[in-house]
Each structure stands twice: as C-alpha cells, then as structure tokens.
Amino acid sequence: MKFRDSLTAGQTGYKRRFRRLQSSPGYTRYVEKNGRVAVEISDLEKVYGEGRAAVRALKGISLEFPAGEFAAIMGPSGSGKSTLLHILGALDRPSSGKVVVGGQDLSGLSDRKLTLLRRERMGFVFQFFNLIPTLSAEENILLPALIAGEKAAKYAGRLDELLDLVGLQNRRTHRPDELSGGEQQRVAIARALVRNPDIVLADEPTGNLDSKTGDGILALLRESANRYEQTIIMVSHDARAAGSADRVIFLADGRVVDEARGLEPDEILERVKTLESTS
Amino acid sequence: MKLRRFSQISFRNLGARPQRTILTTVGIVLGVGIVFGVITLSNTMSGTFTNLFSKAYGAADLTVTASGGNDSFNHKLLEKIRADKDVKYAAPRLSLPASIIFKGKTRNGLPKVQSMRLFGVEPKSAAFATGFDLAKGRFPRSGAELTLDEGTAQSAGLKVGDEVRIGTPGGPVKAKVVGVLRIPGGSFGGIAFGMMPLPYVQKEFGKPNKISGVAVQAQNGVPVKSLQKQLSRKLGDRLQVEQSSTRTAEVNSQFQGFKIALLFFAGTALFVGAFLVFNALSMTILERTRELGMLRALGSTRAMIARSVILEAAILGVFGSLAGLLFGYGMARGLIFLFGKAFLFEITSLSVSPFALVSAVAVGIIITVLAALYPALRAGRVSPVEAMRARSGIVGSSKKRGRISRLAPLVGLLLIGAGVPWTYHLAKNLSAQLQGLVYASGIAGTVATFLGVSFIIPSLIRPLAAALAPLLRLLFGVEGRMAAANATRNRGRTALTASALMIGISLVIAFATLGGSVLGSIRAYLEGSLGSDYVIEPATSNSNNITFSPKLADRVKRLPGVEKTTSIASTFESKDSQIFFVFGLDRNYPDIFRINYAPGSKSPQNAFSKLQNGQALVGKQLARTHKLKVGSKVTVPGPSGPKKYRVAGIVANDILGGGSGVYLSRDTLAHDFNESSAGFLAIKAKPGSNRQTLSQKIRHILQDYPQFRLYSNAEWKARIESQFNRQYVFFYAIMGVSVAVSAFGVVNTLSMSVFERTREIGILRAIGTTKLQVGRLVVDEGVVISLIGCILGIILGSLLGYLFVRGSGASGFDINYYYPTRPALYALLAGLAIGVFAGLLPARSAARKDIVESVQYE
C-alpha cells in the first residue's frame, strides 16, 4: 500500500493535465484494469514510400492485448514486428486501420496528443538502452517525470522502490558509461516504470545482452507485469525471451501467422524456423 | 548539481561536450567582441571629438568663422562684432598648423618634431578663446609665451618656465612655457595644442592683421538665436555665424560613414559567428538524433525539444556575449591604438557606454537564438522512431532537402543578379555624396550578393572539389583524393563552412583591391611624371598644411648641384560636401613634373603659361563632374566669395588633387585664397652632381627648419606607401577577426565529420591505414573546404574590389583598377594554412580512435 500512496502523490499534477484525455469516449482506466483490453488494433496497415517503391510492412493486422498480459511478438527480420511495435507505442502512425489504447482511438490525434499519451500511458525499453550519457542512473530513471513537468522530489519514494526492484541502489549516482550493459538495461526498465504506465513496450530488450543477463532482465519484466498489473509487449528474436511471455504472437511478411500460449523456448524456436523457411 | 527540471538537460549537454561548446562560443565571443569594440571605438571617437571641439571652439554661444574652409579674415571685423550691444564678449583667435620641436633627437639623428595646432589669442580674452582650463601657470600675455596642453607637456617633460622651439615658416623660434592647459581625454589626439599671443603669431606666421575665428558670448538674457541672425546679417556672406554646438555636431556627422563601415565589418563577423552557432547546433542535433528520438518516445513534445535546443543556444549566447564584452574591451583598446596609428589621432581614454554594453550582449544573444531556430525546429521534428534505430543519423529529411537545394541556386542567382548591379550602380553614380543611406544600401547590395553566393555554393562544391582533387592527389596522395570526395558528402555543411570563410576573405581581398589600386595609381603617377630627385615635406604626416618661408626655397635653389626647384602651395575649400583641392604652382613646375593633358585639350603647350594670366588647370574627374571643357569656367568657393577661372587645360594625371585638383599660379592662390607660402618643395639635381654632398647641404639648411625633412625619390615613395598602408592595417585587423571566426567553423565541421565517420575510420584502420594517413585524410578535407572558401572569396572579393574602385572614382578620385595579385596569393596560402591548422585537432582525435570500438560503433 505504501507504493500506491507514493504513486498517487506523484500523480496529482498528471491528473490535472490528463483530464482532457480521460474525458474522451470509452475511456475508463478502472475497467481496463479489471480484465479488459489494454490495446486493441484492427486491420492495421503500414506502407512505406510511394508508387513503385512502396513497401507494405503491415498487411492488415488485428490483435487484442488484455490488461496485465506479457506478450511477445516474434518473427523473422522484415516481418514487420518493429513497425508494429512503433505503432503500438504511438511512435508512428498506421497507413490505415485502428489503434485503440485504453479505449482511446489514436487515429486523428495530433502529434501533441500522441506525445502526451506516450508520456502518461506508455513506458519504453530499447535494445540499445538509450540512456542519456550526461545523466546519472537515478536522473535517467526520473527523466520521464521531469519531461512531464513533475518535481523530482515527489518521486523520491518511487525512485527508491524502483532502485530496489532493479537492484541498483548502490549504483544510483553512476553515469551510463560506468555501468555494465545489464545494469544499463535495468536502469532503462526502471525508467520505463517510473510513472507507472499502463503499457510497457520493449524492443529487443535482451538483444544486446548475454543470455544470463538477459534472463535477469526478462524476470524483471515478468515481475513488474505481475506486480504492477502492466501490459508488456515485447518484440524479440530470442526464443528464450519469448518463452517467458504469456503469449507469443508470430508475424511473417506483415501478417499474424500464429499465436500460442505457454510454449517452451524449443517449440518457439521450431516455429520461427518454419516461418523463416516458408517466407 | 542534481537534475531538477527537464530544461537543465540543456546545461548538461553543454557541459558534456566542452570542446564543441567552446568552439561554438568562440564564434559568439568574437562576434560580440567586435560589435562591442566597434561601438565603443565609435563612441569614444565621437565623445573625444565632441569634447575636444566643443572645448576648442570655446564654451561660448557662437563661433564666427570664414564661410567654407579654414580661411582667415581681417581682424577689423572683430570690432564690428564687439560693437554689437548684445555681445557680452568676443574672443578672437588665429588657428594655424604649426609644429613643436623638442630637445632630443630621433633614432636617425633628426630632431624630434610634433605637429601642433597653434592658437594666437588676445591676452585679455585668452580665457574665452577656447574652452580649455588652465592646469598650471597662466595664459600667454606678450612676446614668445606659450601655453601648452598637458599631454604634450607631460610626455616631453616640459614645465612652466621651460623653453621650447616652435616651427614657423621662417624657421624655429624660441618660446617660453608659461602655462599648461587641461585637455579633456588627455591630449588632442597626439597633436600638441598651444596658445601664443595673437600679434606674435600673426607676425611669425606671416598673417598680419588676420584672425580665423571669434568666440562670441551673448549678453545675459539675449537669445542666442536672435544674436546669431543679427550678427550674420551684419557680417555678410563671407563669414558664418554658428552655434558652437552645431559645429561640434557637424564634426561628428563626418564620422557617420566611417562608423557605418565599421559596423558593417562588425556585422560580418557576427554573421559568421551566427553561422558557427548554426553549424555547431545542427551538428549536435545530428549527433543526438537517437537521444532526441528517445526523449520524444518518453513523451517530450516537439516544442519541448525545440525549446531545449534554443535554451542551449541562449546559455551559450549569454556566456559567449559576456566573454565577448571582455574580448571586445581589449579589442576596442587595440582598435583605438590602431586608429591612432592609422589616422595619427591618438585617443587615450575609452568611453564605454551602457548602450554599447547592452546592445552588444543583446545582439549576441538574439543572433545566437536566431541561429538556433532552424536547428531547434529540426530537432523537434526528429521522429520518436529514431529511438529504435540502430544507427544514429537523420534519414528521413533527405527528401525535403532535395527540393530546397534545387531552389537555392536559383534564389542565389536572383540575389546576385540584384545585388551586384545595385552595388555597381551606387558605386558609379551616387557615391559622390557618401552618405549614410548610400552606404547602407550599398551594404545591402553586398550582403545580398554574399547570400546569393552562399546559396549557390552547395551546387559548386562538387565541381570545385573535383577540380581540386587532382591537385590534392598530387600533393597528398590517395588520402587527398578521398578527402575531396569526403568534402562533397555533406555538401550543405561544407558549403556553410566555406561560405563563412568566403565572406571574410572576399572583404579582405576587396579592400586590398581598393588599396592596391589607389597605391598603384599613385605609383604610376609618380613614375610617369616625377622628374625631381628630392622633395622637402613636413616631418610629421599629420601636419601636411604647415608651410615654410620662401627663404628656404631660395637657399636650396642657390646650392651648387641644384638645377631647379619648384614649390607647391595648397589649400582646400569645401562647399556642400564637394571638396576642392586648390594648388598654387610656380613656373618651374612643368620642368619637374610632367603634366599629361586629357585628350581634347587645345594647345597644351601653352596651357600652363596661361596660369600666369589667372586661368586654371583642372583635374579630369572635376572636369567630368562639372562638365568642364577647355575655355569654360570653373567656380571655386573662396574666402572672399566664389571665384571663377577660365579652364586652360584638363589634367589627366592629377594625383595631387586625386582628379579633383584646381591648379592656379602661386600669385593667384596668394591673392584669392590668402595662401602665399608653400609646404612642399621638389628639387631636381644637376646631372652628374654628387648626390651625397648635395643631400648633406640640403639637410644642413633644413636644420633651420626642423619641422621639414628631405626625402629622396625612393624614400618619398616608400613614405607615401607606408602612410597609406597604415590606414589599411586598421581595417584588416577588423576583417581578420571575421576570418578567424570562420576558421573555427572549419574546426567544427571537421570534428563533426570525424564523429560521423567513426565506423568508417575504424574500418580504414582495420584494413591497414596508418594513424598518420587517417589524420591526413581529415587535414586534407579541411584544406579542401577552406580552399573552396578562399577561392570563391578571392573571386567575389576581386569583383567587389572592382566596384569599390569604381565607387571611389565617382567621388572624385581618379583610380585605375589594379588586380590584387599578391593579396590573392596570400589568401590562397591562408586558405591552405587555415585548412591545415583547423584540421590538426580533429585529425588527432580521428587518429586516436580505438579500432575495435570504432568498428563496433553503431
């Protein structure tokens, strides 16, 4: 309960700023946290370029991500999984189709609205960690709060909690170049969680790490999904990584070709191999 | 410092890249410094002049002088003024150029001479004749008593009671220092200022019963304006009655053009500084693309990103501007020193106005922020998707750029098409009156041309680099060729860097062209027409109008070994900003100087002899502007009203008057202009005479006239050239700063190139390129960039220089265009040097890159 308190304390400012989004039709944070859909996409298409040079990266994808799910998206390179993640994270817009995040239809939202949405509802974990080299670990973690215009002091409790979670209490003042790859990625995860987003999007979070460190990172994501009831959508090549997800979605050539629950890494690998050979 | 606010990231970014930050700031520091320096210089100049002239012309309400020029008039008029019941007092003065001769000797054994402005004053009204206060002693009463300015007295170690010699046309006279005057600003710009009794001055300088000005104070309660009207009605056209303040303002307004030119140079330096900021910020943003994308993904809005970049620039702007003030103060000191050297007017105290402080800082910050706008907008436009990309670098914007760069050369051509003819038109037709507006629009034309060329440069980079490639290959081997190719990879950046250099170089070349053309014209004249072997001239070059008595000429003429001498008397008259240089020539003149008559002159053989009949020769330019022909009449304003002379001939090689000279006989000059004595003597030696003994004998005579010196032809030419070059040093110093600023731009561009190509450098190293080769690759790229800038600068500068020469031609000086070969060559060498030096640091960082890390660099 202590954590929840610090959370609400930190969010009074955000609530005021976010009221406009909240009042949009269909939006109810309460409902989605109780077994409803966090993200829903339908008939999603994405075309890059024009004319003859046009590339259709996504060719009509429909998916639902229930709140609290840890989903992995897999597929050979060029299957469109990164594009899908960009669109799910409101980083990019689809050419056609609909994206609904927490009951909010994203189509037609201005860049500013999308930015606010990302700020309030999304957390990101990147393959290359993307920490700001000039900021210390704790400053990097607090960055999303600062971006949202919040006072760092309000997040003191939250920061401690997250540093405990990722096990970097004693490294908090170190700069990124003084941290190992695994440590940097843990800082990145703490950063993604600092404002308690509904959805965490992870782009190859273990891609740049050795397998043991990668396992630690996955466990961390898993735990945060369970503990904070967050929806985690992860793109990965790594069958071991996908194995720790609730559901694995297989993409090939811009389409969803398969999805499965409770698969072992070996089975996942097998399926990816088939996909690669057929596409 | 703990991060508390998003905006503080800007500070962190600056701190994280100290080298880049410093490089960027250098641009601002130099730009602001030069603006501050120039404003301070011109303030100091105006301040000094205002102060001096308001004091020198007396604190009185009105000043009476002869209309137009520095003529003298009969002192009887003084009684007329004094007779007016509304005049409280009237203090006469006779103002003359003179010289003061000190005890010591200069290094080459000649007496120490300083120019002096001498006022002959009445003992009873001496205190009112000028506004200077006594520091010590008293005003002169009778005989050879001198009251001297404090600065001169101090530097020469003179005290009240000491004796000193004063140079007069008849030779030096001894004078006793009886008082010391306090001069605002310490000195009269390096010229001594002295007061002696009026009768004494009238006698010694051959101006009996003459005065040159009267300071008039109105009775209490009498409005100054009405007294002014009253007096000018009474005194007639030949005298003018002015309020002392108007006169001071006039003096000041003469600096207007000079000030505008100074500000223009300052502006270019600032412009180049802005380029540097723009460049550096664009690079920083390129470098941080992924970071910016990440910040966008985390929920920073476009505006937040743009603001943080602008904030970064503003911080740089504030610190850079403040540092610029320090630099500018030093620069102002240096400029004032140079100004003193160049124009022989020393200013000792610096007046720093709050306006200069505030405007320099404001301009610095505003320019920095403006330069940051585009990079900031681009930073805001970075897509959040960039956060996910493996490689850093702006990918998406290339399409839009293509459209702009296709349009840019067209816009550039349009601008050049408008700017060049406009400048040319102004130069040719309007510069006879070089006023603020003409200057400003000429500058606008020049700026348009610069902008136009800058727009075209991106399209020129490839062919120029291709043209340079074989040369580089020859000089530097395969690295040279690769470097040329590298320079074309980011044409926009190369172009920006090169155009910054181009502007500085082209200004230097343009001024060198003007200077070289003037000098070349003088040289050509001297070689073509000087038939003398020696000349006698004033020893100090800021006292060209002091004269000697005819006795000097006579004594020289009688020396064995002297074939002929000719002395020239001169004066100038001005009316409505048109200046007439009037010369009095004796019969020997054509035997020593060759006069070339302009085609169309009738019977040039006896044109000269007609001077004795009161006719005149005129310079070619004057003839052109006044549409004069042989036989028509020229009107010259004179001390006793305008004078008309029949034109006997038109002189093609009129360098004495710069094309606007009016040549009369000595008698006519003495009669019409009160100028009977000469200040210049040309001597022709007998063929076969011993030159050494001759010059010794002349020097012996000159011991009685220590304010004059003997120069052989070669010495005289060298003297003219060095006097001339001194003035150019002043402008070169200012332009040098803008070249220096752009050199920093090259450093910046190169470090960016090195940063961008980290992986490429790693690969080159991996396949066996040595550190030295990698370093040379960078240095060569610097050379390519700076050579492109310099070559374009030379081309543009020659063109501008041509326009300048035409412009001067229109204002009355007849100058031929000489191509500045040597400066152009120096500029090329400077280009090489700038390239090499700018490349050193980035080359070192390229060579020191760790191979393994670089290859893996994403």
pLDDT at B429 (0 to 100) = 58
Residue of A nearest to B8 (CA): A146
B290–A128 CB contact, under 8 Å: yes
Query: Chain B: nearest CA to A196, how far in angstroms?
Result: 13
Instruction: State whether A91 and B390 contact (CB < 8 Å).
Output: no
Which pLDDT score is estimated for B397? 39
Query: What are the tens digits of pLDDT across the range B334-389?
Result: 877 877 776 666 666 777 788 888 888 888 888 888 888 888 888 888 888 877 76
Angle between helices B8-16 and B302-343 (to 10 degrees): 60
Exposure string (b/e) for B436-471, b if CB count within 10 Å is 16 or more?
A: eebbeebbebbbbbbbbbbbbbbbbbeebbeebbee
User: Is B565's pLDDT higher than 60?
Assistant: yes
Alpha carbons B494 and A102: distance in angstroms, whole number: 49
> Searching chain B, which residue's CA lies closest to the CA of residue A139?
B3
Q: Which residue has the higher pLDDT, A190 or B447?
A: A190
| Least confident range of A140-144, B493-497, B504-508 | B493-497
Least confident of A246-260, B47-61, B411-425, B718-732: B47-61
- Reduce the DSSP state of residue B572 to 3 states and report it: strand
Min Cα distance A92 → chain B (Å) is 7
Third-level CATH fold of A2-38+67-89+110-278: Rossmann fold (3.40.50)
Substitution target from A84, A110, A114, A128 for chain B, most B beta carbons within 10 A: A128
Task: Yes or no: say if B287 and A132 are a contact pair by the CB < 8 Å rule.
Answer: no
B356-365, B366-375, B758-767, B832-841: segment of lowest average pLDDT? B758-767
Chain A residues close to B384, C-beta within 8 Å: 89, 91-92, 118
Please say if the pLDDT value at position A11 is more than 70.
Answer: no
Nearest CA among B433, B803, B812 for reference residue B654 = B812
Query: Measured between CA atoms, how close is A130 to chain B, in angstroms?
Result: 7
Task: For residues B463-478, give the mean pLDDT.
Answer: 75
Q: Taking CA B638 as the corner, what is the angle to CA B634 and CA B641, rounded to the nearest 5 degrees?
A: 95
The C-alpha atoms of residue B385 and residue A84 are separated, in whole angstroms, by: 11
Q: What's the pLDDT score for residue A22? A: 41
**pLDDT confidence bin for B197, thresholds 50/70/90:** very high
CA dist A210 and A181 (Å) reads 9
Give the pLDDT mean for B205-223. Answer: 84
Any idea what DSSP says for residue B550? H
Residue of B nearest to A145 (CA): B6
Nearest to B27 by CA among B816, B616, B747, B658: B747
Which residues from A are below 8 Å from B297, CB to CB?
89, 91, 118, 124
For residue B846, pLDDT over 50 is answered with yes
Contact A147 B299 (CB under 8 A): yes
Task: Say whether A147 and B4 touch across the interface (CB within 8 A).
Answer: no
Taking only the tens place, the pLDDT of each residue in B151-175 is 888 888 888 888 888 888 888 888 9
Interface-testing mutation among B292, B298, B377, B850, with chain A (most A C-beta atoms within 10 A): B298
Determine contact: B233 vs chain A, CB below 8 A: no
Measured between CB atoms, does A48 come within 8 Å of chain B? no
The CA distance from B465 to B487, in Å, is 7
Q: Is B444 on the interface with A (CB under 8 A)?
A: no
> How big is the A-B interface in CB pairs under 8 Å?
92
Instruction: Give A89's contacts in chain B (Cβ within 8 Å).
Output: 297, 384
CA angle B471, B475, B481 (to 5 degrees): 60
Q: How far is CA A138 from CA B207, B251, B669, in A?
A: 90, 66, 90
- Secondary structure class of B245 (helix, strand, coil): helix
Q: Can you say whether the dihedral through the CA atoms of B543, B548, B552, B556 is positive or negative? A: positive
Q: Is A133 on the interface with B (CB under 8 A)?
A: yes
ipTM: 0.75
What residues of chain B lie within 8 A of the CB of A86, using their CB? 385, 388
Closest C-alpha among B294, B287, B304, B299 to residue B389: B294
Condensed to tens digits (0 to 9), the pLDDT of residues B104-132 reads 777 666 777 888 888 888 888 888 877 78
CB B345 within 8 A of CB B542: yes
What part of A 167-226 touches B (C-beta under 8 Å)?
191, 203
Chain A residues closer than 8 Å to B12 by CB? 132, 134-135
Residue whose pair of structure tokens reads 């610090």 in the numeric block = A6
Task: Kindly state the DSSP code that residue B777 receives in the 8-state scheme.
Answer: H
Residues near A108 by beta carbon (within 8 Å), at least 6 away in sequence = none
Dihedral angle over CA of B448, B453, B454, B459, nearest 10: 150
Cβ count near B578 (within 10 Å): 16
Top-ranked range on mean pLDDT: pick from B176-180, B465-469, B575-579, B637-641: B176-180
Question: Of the candidates A50, A41, A129, which has an alpha carbon nearest to the alpha carbon of residue A85?
Answer: A41
Measured between CB atoms, does B4 come within 8 Å of chain A?
Answer: yes
A147 vs B298, B385, B858: nearest CB: B298
Domain boundaries, given as residue ranges, for chain A? 2-38+67-89+110-278
Q: How confident is the model over A70-92, as a mean pLDDT?
A: 87
Residue B104 buriedness (CB in 10 A; 0-12 / 13-18 / 19+): exposed
Strand partners, A125: A202
CA distance B500 to B506: 10
Sequence letter at residue B590 = P
Task: Answer yes or no: do A133 and B16 touch at CB < 8 A.
Answer: yes
Lowest mean pLDDT of A196-205, B120-129, B181-190, B590-599, name the range. Answer: B181-190
> What one-letter code names the amino acid at B59?
A
Residue B603 has pLDDT above 80, yes or no: no
Question: CA B611 to CA B663: how far, in whole Å?
Answer: 8
Q: Is the pLDDT of residue B245 over 60?
A: yes
Q: What is the pLDDT of residue B178?
A: 92
Contacts of residue B718, Cβ cutoff 8 Å, sequence gap at least 6: none
Does residue A111 have a pLDDT over 80? yes
Residue A252 pLDDT exceeds 50: yes
Range in B221-230, B374-383, B487-496, B766-775 the model is least confident about: B487-496
Confidence check: pLDDT of B690 > 50: yes
| DSSP annotation string for B181-215 | EE-TTSSBTTBEEEEEEHHHHHHHTT-TTEESEEE
CB A13 within 8 Å of CB A150: yes
Q: Does A95 touch chain B (CB under 8 A)?
A: no
Of the candidates B667, B568, B648, which has an alpha carbon nearest to the alpha carbon of residue B605? Answer: B648
User: Which residues on chain B are in Cβ contact (under 8 Å) with A203?
Assistant: 388
- Does B427 have pLDDT greater than 70? no
Q: Return the pLDDT at B211.
A: 87
Shortest alpha-carbon distance between residue B405 and chain A (Å): 21
The overall average pLDDT reported for chain B is 79
Whether B299 sits inside 8 A of A92 (CB atoms) is no
CA distance to partner chain A, nearest, from residue B284 (Å): 14
Tell me whether residue B36 is exposed, middle or buried, using C-beta atoms within 10 angstroms of its C-beta: 0 to 12, 13 to 18, 19 or more. buried
